[in-house]
Structure 1
Amino acid sequence: MARKQNDDLLIEDELAAAFLNDDSMDLAEPVATPQAAATTPAPAANDTNTAWDDQEEDFPGQLAVDVYETDENLIIKARTAGVNKEDLDVSISDGILTISGTLSSGDDTTVSRWHIQECYWGEFSRTLALPVAVKEDEVSAVLKDGVLTISFAKVKQEQAKKIAIQ
């Protein structure tokens, strides 16, 4: 399932975002809200004219990260539960870190009708500029219990030197 452009908005903002960000939406069609979804029957499997199919665009999922530093290191943590390390790609160039990969739901070729699909499956990517200078060749990346932890050694910033005025 492709990710919608406004998936990262809060649920309360989805209705407003649908009107503000999606020019292709037919305003005559009802907008599915989480409250309405509980009472609205799912469309038939062969119904190809659903509102969400028309709005769906191909956007890679965005990976959520935590970035913090200790005295010696810059740490980036990303929740990657269900992703095999073979399906992850981590790279850095000039202080720009990129984490990308694919989250596979398994074999769903036999699915004839979805009732609820809230999980994101497919490609994801996150690129971020590191907030401090790091030694790009002194890095470790560990995938444990569904959390990717990347640790860079920080570049030591020289202390300001006092200049005597004569």
Structure 2
Amino acid sequence: MRKIFKKLSGLSGKITNKAADNNEIDDFEEISEEEENEEYDAEEEEEIDEEEIDEEEIDEDEEEKEWLQNDFEEGQLSIDVYQTPDAIIVKSTIAGVKPEDIDISINNDMLTIRGRREMYEKIKDEHYLYRECYWGSFSRSIILPLEIEAEKIEAVLENGVLTVTLPKAKSAKEISIKVLEK
């Protein structure tokens, strides 16, 4: 573009002041054609680059989908954890899961809840209007803030809500010690 501008600015004075030399006009036309060819080549290169980028983006999108599918092979269970004076309580909504499909384990100070929610009815993807429910394996592990009595843990599934009661160990209870004055 600079070449064209320089040539034009040089020609403009000559054309207005005197008739332009045919050689100068031919030179200008040659420069214009060269510039157009360079611009056309640059556009072709950009299109090729864009096609390569589009293909790379498609590959990246497919890789991301595969990664997400692998990431979601096991869903994370939502939980509420609170404490009473005697226990730590863990609650979770696990609608549609049978008690025999739930595994609860304790390893040192870590509680793990695992299970599987089965989809019994097979529905084609194109028939869905919304698809938000998670079907498949799920798990959740939490580190317990206090020592518990593992042999006294209770788990109850009622109306789709799992309640795990973890009794606090005797040593974990807060004991108020009265200070005596001597």
2:106 matches 1:92: yes
Distance 2:88 2:58 in 1: 47
Equivalent position to 2:126, from 113, 117, 121? 113
2:57 matches 1:26: yes
2:159 matches 1:159: no
The structure having more radius of gyration, on CA atoms, is 2
2:157 matches 1:134: no
| Structure number with higher relative contact order (C-alpha < 8 Å, ≥ 6 residues apart) | 1
Which amino acid is 1:65 matched to? I
The 5 A counterparts of 1:37-76 are 53-54=65-66, 56-59=68-71, 60-76=74-90
Which amino acid is 2:82 matched to? Y
Distance 2:79 2:107 in 1: 18
Q: Which segments of structure 1 move beyond 2 Å, counting only runs of 4 or more?
A: 25-29, 49-57, 110-116, 156-164
Aligned length: 122
**Match for residue 91 of structure 2?**
77
Which amino acid is 1:159 matched to? I
Distance 2:109 2:175 in 1: 22
Q: Any gaps of 5 or more consecutive residues in structure 1?
A: 1-24, 30-48
Distance 2:140 2:68 in 1: 21
What is the CA distance between 1:56 and its match in structure 2? 3.2
Tell me the secondary structure at the aligned position of residue 152 of structure 2: strand
What is the CA distance between 1:102 and its match in structure 2? 0.5
Structure with the larger strand share: 1
Q: Any gaps of 5 or more consecutive residues in structure 2?
A: 1-55
Structure with the larger helix share: 2
CA 1:158–1:68: 2 relative to 1, 3 Å: closer
2:170 matches 1:147: no
Distance 1:117 1:27 in 2: 24
Distance 1:69 1:158 in 2: 13
What is the CA distance between 1:142 and its match in structure 2? 0.3
Distance 1:57 1:83 in 2: 22
TM-score, normalised with respect to structure 1: 0.61
2:116 matches 1:102: yes
What is the CA distance between 1:52 and its match in structure 2? 7.8
TM-score, normalised with respect to structure 2: 0.56
